[in-house]
Structures are given as C-alpha cells and as structure tokens.
C-alpha cells in the first residue's frame, strides 16, 4: 500500500472551524422569492407564500422551503478563513487551514448528506458553522483516493438545530 496522503498536521486539523456565518433576519419576502424561483414554472406551495393559508397549516405560519439559503445574497457576519484566490484548487481546505496540503491534482464532488431540523421562519437569524470533519483514504481504479469530509451546522437565534450538511470531496 502506498504512503498515506493524510499528514499529522491534517489529522490534527480535524474538527477545526473553517468558517462562521450569521445571516440577516429572514424575511417573508426572501422566502417568497426563493419559493417562486425554486418551483418555477409551477406555482409554489401556498405555505411558502400566503400568510393566511400558512397560519392554518402545521407550522402555524410561513416557513421557508428546506433548501432555502439565507446566506445566498449577503451575510450579516462572516468570520474565519477566507477561501484562497484559487478557491477551486484541490488543496483548498488545507490552504484555508494554513497547513501543508497533499498536492493532489484532481477533485470531484463525492456527494452530500443533509439532515433537517426546525424550519426557517420570518425573523430567524441563522448561524452556520463549517468544520473539517475528517479524512479517509481508499484505493480506486486510478489509485489512492483521499476523501475529505466537511460539516456545516445551522442553528437559529434560539439555538435550535436547523440543518446539518456533510459534504464529501474526493481527490486523487
């Protein structure tokens, strides 16, 4: 078996925060525009656009579609490591963390796993904390592959869990 791509510095970086973002308060208008865009050319479900209809539904008012992104336009606050100019570079994560990367040349998206909690409502302020969740390696047809896991957890201003996304990047 060939030498591991995962250095001691990379192992020690697991769990470190990559970025913290805080949204502006979510508005009914943000939710309505998102729903109209996502469901176009069909009409969006009434619970996303009609306050009177939404009051009689499960959540008791307008809620955002699960895929709504309050960070899509601009953030009220963004702290942490800024992505480098070569943001699409395969070694982006390690460059952001200031550690020696494995210097791999190719990358692809290995997929996402998403878990949802409380829905986003008008007035919610969402906090996102993104961390390096881990590394693992496997042999493939093209040789050794490095899998990089990042976790992004969203909470609202009440500390309630809103969303967790685990992203897998594959490099070789």
46 vs 163, higher pLDDT: 163
Which residues does 52 contact at the CB level (< 8 Å), separation at least 6?
Answer: none
Question: pLDDT of 74-109, one tens digit each?
Answer: 899 998 766 656 556 899 899 889 999 999 999 999
Say what the pTM is.
Answer: 0.89
DSSP 8-class letter at 3: P
Within 10 A of 30 (CB to CB), how many other CB atoms are there?
20
Strand extents, DSSP E, 58-122: 77-80, 107-116
Question: pLDDT of 25-54, one tens digit each?
Answer: 999 999 999 999 999 899 999 989 999 999
* Closest among 92, 91, 72 to 81, alpha carbons compared: 92
Domains of the chain: residue spans and CATH: 8-26+75-171 (3.10.129), 27-69 (no CATH)
């Amino acid at each position: 078996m060939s030498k591991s791509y995962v250095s001691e510095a990379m192992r020690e970086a697991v769990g470190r925060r990559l970025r913290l973002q805080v949204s502006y308060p979510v508005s009914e208008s943000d939710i309505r525009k998102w729903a109209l865009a996502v469901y176009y050319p069909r009409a969006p479900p009434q619970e996303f656009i009609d306050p009177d209809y939404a009051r009689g539904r499960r959540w008791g008012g307008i809620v955002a579609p699960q895929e709504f992104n309050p960070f899509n336009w601009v953030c009220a606050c963004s702290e942490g490591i800024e992505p480098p100019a070569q943001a699409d570079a395969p070694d982006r994560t390690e460059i952001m963390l200031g550690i020696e990367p494995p210097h791999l040349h190719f990358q692809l998206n290995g997929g996402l796993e998403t878990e949802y909690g409380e829905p986003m409502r008008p007035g919610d302020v969402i906090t996102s904390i993104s961390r390096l969740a881990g590394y693992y390696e496997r042999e493939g047809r093209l040789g050794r592959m490095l899998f990089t896991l990042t976790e992004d957890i969203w909470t609202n201003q009440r500390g309630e869990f809103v969303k967790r996304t685990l992203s897998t990047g594959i490099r070789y």
